[in-house]
Amino acid sequence: MNGSHGLQRFARPPGTLLEQRSAQMRQLEQCEMCGTPVAARHGHVVDTRRRSLMCACRACFLLFTKGAARRSRYRAVPERYLADPLRPVTPVEWERLDIPVSSAFVLRADAGITAFHPSPAGATERPLNPGFWTEFAAAHPLVAAAESDVEAILFRRGANDVDCYLVPIDVCYRLVGTVRLYWSGMDGGDQVRDHIDELFAEIRAKAGGLPGGAR
């Protein structure tokens, strides 16, 4: 699942829910590992070498879950969403992350920690201050809880606060695809903002508390 065509799969198509469901039924996807047809809602597997995302049937997904894929280049994307309301990200911390837009995600891989933010051209890589990121991670256990390659820390700056979630990496692909598909004009337009609001409302509804509670 590479490039703009892959990203389009993560952006919700326009129209009513009935129209969306009809479009999904007409465009049944296939597992990119074995070719088996998959439903609109299906799992994903990360190819860690190519840094790409693949649609997977349930059988292929289970082959690459955490316990089964220790030495494989492929990793199944978990389905958990977490938040840590006891340790919210402060506006001061957000400013020190030096991200020039309102939403971004951070991914840990073998090559290190990388930040990305969505743009009309796709995912844009952002350098992170490694010293401050180490300090930030120590203050926010949610960061350390994210599994490398398959989960990300997703941020969104609001008017008075900063939302921070641990999410499956395919959610970040969906965010990037949404911005690419719906961006218009200089500031993105109302349509892209509405879709981003809808996505974060969905994430907020799914997010559970960080296991273990306060330190």
pLDDT tens for residues 90-130? 999 999 998 888 999 999 887 788 999 999 988 999 888 88
Do 142 and 205 share a structural domain? yes
Q: Reduced to 3 states, what is the DSSP secondary structure of residue 107?
A: strand
Do 88 and 68 share a structural domain? no
Closest CA to 117 of 128, 108, 126, 130: 126
Do 86 and 58 share a structural domain? no
Do 172 and 136 share a structural domain? yes
**What is the per-residue pLDDT across 191-215, written as a single tens digit (0 to 9) for each?**
999 999 999 999 999 999 988 654 4
Number of domains in the chain: 2
Q: Where are the strands (E) in 57-161, listed by range?
A: 74-76, 82-83, 103-109, 112-119, 122-126, 151-157
Give the end of a domain, one of 54, 76, 98: 76
pLDDT value at position 100? 86
Q: Which residues pair with 70 in a beta bridge?
A: none
Do 88 and 69 share a structural domain? no
Do 204 and 99 share a structural domain? yes
Question: Residue 95 falls within a domain, yes or no?
Answer: yes
Cβ-in-10-Å burial (0-12, 13-18, 19+) of 169 comes to buried
Cβ-in-10-Å burial (0-12, 13-18, 19+) of 163 comes to middle
Q: Report the chain's mean pLDDT, rounded to a whole number.
A: 83
pLDDT value at position 198? 95
Q: Are 86 and 211 a contacting pair, CB within 8 Å?
A: no
Q: Within 13 A of 18's CA, how many CA atoms are on the CB side?
A: 0
Give the end of a domain, one of 76, 93, 123: 76
Domain residues for 28? 14-76
Closest CA to 205 of 178, 154, 165: 165
pLDDT category at 70 given cuts 50, 70, 90 is: low
Q: Is the pLDDT of residue 63 over 70?
A: yes
Better pLDDT: 2 or 100 = 100
Amino acid at 148: S
